[in-house]
Structure 1
């Protein structure tokens, strides 16, 4: 059973349905997406610094690329993680950039205590607004979202390649892809209420406070069961950080239903390569801090059978901040019986409506 709680956000009272059961690694949990917003705390940082799947890949890339070179670390965080790792793998020096004020001050304290403090330069601000010299040879940036581009990686790293890197400079990671598969939300949370995990409420409130009002936040599913997928994962967003990197894109794909069930949206997840020839990190099937994002499409679940096809168009366009993208989805479900069902979703980084879709009306009940 769920409980209904209230949170306050700039004078707005928001009712939220909450699952009070303790979180476990073998139990799915519903959270708001968090990586796109400047609300990082010790818990969120620790989930990244202890992410073995992620860290091994970034370290392997730096060990290959960083020796003897100047490294730019965008979004260095309070631990200066990749700036420090760059020096440990042989970099000549590192420039670390952090925009969040609290994280910057903690990073400054961390830097003071380092033996190699004179080899790291720490700057506060957005890398897209900073100027510095000399340029870097390697840029490392862990600004990849559970939706690959959601944290602004395309815009930030396009700017870094154009202004901050030497000719022939390289970016770590190498490539990020968002995949999607048809699902039903309630099946992703089997035997559980469709409600936010209790531990997620402070982050939900922090995001609404940051924005100044509530909005339909993207929905993060932790530890989803892969048997809830009604078809294979198909790429809907591709970011080639050392190739043709597009800040905006439009993709149309066909997701074939492979097992009977009901569909009301898609589950998306990340595949990430830090080096071009490695096995990718698969956020759906590996233990990592990246989770999956559920995107609703239909107001009511639609029954499907094998052979039905979900035609999905995804448009990624920069929001009004010029950094973080908005996602626009249009879907047509073609059934083998000849019927068509249409669905859509506009999922902005910030702003937009509140309680516009039935799933949000259920999560945030009216007074």
Structure 2
């Protein structure tokens, strides 16, 4: 069972399908993907600053790379976390940049309580539009999305490497990869409705308010059922921040179905390396603020069996803001009986269609 709630956005009333059960530890929950939008609040910042899997890796990288160097922290947030951690690790100076004005003012208030203050400089704005000197030795930027590039990391860090880092300067994190596997959405949320968590509604409204109208937001699945995957995961998006970093990319991979079931889309998740030789953070198998993202491909679930193959093409192109990627997926499911099932998804960062796919028609019913 599910409830229907209403949210108001720009004078428009939207009906939203809502899970009546409260969220609790370990229970799957459906949210909009929030990280790629400027809607951060204390709750979202707290989920990041208390993420031990993430923090241990960033701290280890800074302890190795920051001593006696100048560091640049892009997206420092209200807590100036990596600027402070870099200074505590021995950096000579940290330049911290924050684009969200409310977070910047909170960071400025926090900075006044930090000693020694002259070791951190805080700037408001987009790093891609700012100019400053001298260049940094190390850039630390926690602007990685649950889809690795969703928050604009490729474009922002390409610019940082070109304009803000010294020759030979290094970026933390070192690498981010998005993996994908075949799934059915309802299997990710067993014994509960396919519906948004009630706690997510303010964020859904904030995204629509920011954009000015509703659109088909990406679907974030927290604590997905571990047994729901119908294939192994394979890389579909690769960001090498200290190597061949591309702002746009296109990859085709073949996902072999490993067990019988039904599929209607793919589940994606993040692998992240802060240092080249470490064990990666795995957002599917570790407790972290990064969650999995479900992307629909077929209007209704398609039966699959072991040995069937999903040929998936995953492309990222820059949106009209020149920073955040739009994602395009196309798929051909080859089944053992010789049939082919074709599906596709356009998932722009903002804009695009609303209720264009059956899953969004269910989540936002008109009656």
TM-score, reference length from structure 2: 1.00
* Distance in 2 of aligned mates of 1:226 and 1:133: 48
Which residue of structure 2 aligns with residue 219 of structure 1? 219
In structure 2, what is the equivalent of residue 366 of structure 1?
Answer: 366
Q: What residue number does 2:192 align with? A: 192
What CA deviation, in whole Å up to 9, does each residue of 1:238-281 have, x standing for no partner?
00000000000000000000010000000000000000000000
Q: CA separation in 2, counterparts of 1:117 and 1:365?
A: 52
Please list, as runs of the form range in 1=range in 2, the aligned pairs for 1:80-119 lying within 5 A after superposition: 80-119=80-119
Report the CA distance between 1:25 and its aligned residue. 2.1
* Distance apart, 1:34 and its partner CA: 0.3
Deviations 1:333-365 (A, max 9, x none): 000110000000000000001000000000000
2-side partners of 1:253 and 1:168: how far apart? 33
In the alignment, the residues of structure 2 paired with residue 199 and residue 306 of structure 1 have an alpha-carbon distance, to the nearest angstrom, of 38
How far 1:22 moved relative to its partner? Answer: 1.2
Query: Does 333-342 or 18-27 show the bigger shift?
Result: 18-27
* Counterparts of 1:256 and 1:25, CA distance in 2: 32
Per the alignment, residue 239 of structure 1 pairs with 239
Please give the secondary structure, in 1, of the residue aligned with 2:366: coil
Displacement of 1:184 after TM fit? 0.1
What value does the CA root-mean-square deviation take over the aligned residues?
0.5
Give the secondary structure class of the aligned counterpart of 1:54: helix
Q: Which residue of 2 aligns with 1:313?
A: 313
- Residue 3 of structure 1: aligned partner: 3
Secondary structure at 2:61 match in 1: helix
Q: Secondary structure of 2:35's partner? A: coil
CA offset at residue 12 of structure 1? 1.5
Report SS of the residue matched to 1:338: coil
Look up the match of 1:323. Answer: 323
Question: Which residue in the other structure is 1:122 paired with?
Answer: 122
Deviation at 1:115, TM superposition (A): 1.1
Task: State whether structure 2 residue 138 is matched by structure 1 residue 161.
Answer: no
* Cα shift at 1:24: 1.5
Distance apart, 1:17 and its partner CA: 0.3
SS in 2 for 1:177: strand
Q: Give 1:210's aligned residue.
A: 210
| Structural mapping, 1:1-367, within 5 Å | 1-367=1-367
- Secondary structure of the equivalent of 1:298? coil
| Distance of 2:183 and 2:329 partners within structure 1 | 15
Query: In structure 1, how many angstroms separate the alpha carbons of the residues matched to 2:25 and 2:338?
Result: 41
Deviation at 1:116, TM superposition (A): 1.6
Deviation for aligned residue 1:54? 0.1
Deviations 1:268-308 (A, max 9, x none): 00000000000000000000000000000000100000000
Q: 2-side partners of 1:268 and 1:116: how far apart? A: 42
Distance in 1 (alpha carbons) for counterparts of 2:366 and 2:22: 26
Shift of 1:203: 0.2
C-alpha distance in 2 between matches for 1:266 and 1:126: 33
Cα separation, 2, equivalents of 1:24 and 1:335: 38
| DSSP 3-state at the match of 1:237 | strand
Look up the SS of the partner of 1:121 in the other structure: strand
SS in 1 for 2:227: helix
Aligned residues: 367
TM-score (normalised: structure 1): 1.00
Distance in 2, matches of 1:144 and 1:334, equals 33
State the SS of the aligned residue for 2:126.
coil
Of stretches 113-122 and 346-355 in structure 1, the one that deviates more from structure 2 is 113-122
